[in-house]
Amino acid sequence: LDLLQDVALAIWVADSGRYENGQVIFNTHVWGDAGSLAIVEYFKGLEYVSEAYCERNNHRVKLDEPSSLNFLKIVSPHLPQPVLEK
């Protein structure tokens, strides 16, 4: 995860995430519980507040609202506008 840069994070959220109710949510079901918790730790290292949770038997990680806004400032230059509106 340390190699992820702005563009890679933008691709991840565009491909397998969403922005909903002021929060960025990543689908992490392919990595299971342990992988989702590793992603939470990665975001903690970036000073983002996040949590891993399960929704309809799918693992997800969501950023809190302030972290989501900061994240979007970083990745939005790399995303087409419709991605942020979905």
Amino acid identity at 58: N
CB-CB contact of 71 with 24 (8 Å): yes
Angle at 70 between CA 16 and CA 20, to 5 degrees: 45
pLDDT digits (tens, 9 = 90+) for 11-35: 888 888 998 999 999 999 999 999 9
Enter the pTM of the model. 0.84
Angle at Cα 15 formed by Cα 12 and Cα 19, nearest 5°?
A: 80
Q: What is the pLDDT of residue 54?
A: 95
Predicted local distance difference test score (pLDDT) of residue 79: 82
2 has pLDDT over 90: no
Could you read off the pLDDT of 29-70 as tens digits, one per residue?
999 999 999 999 999 999 999 999 999 999 999 999 999 999
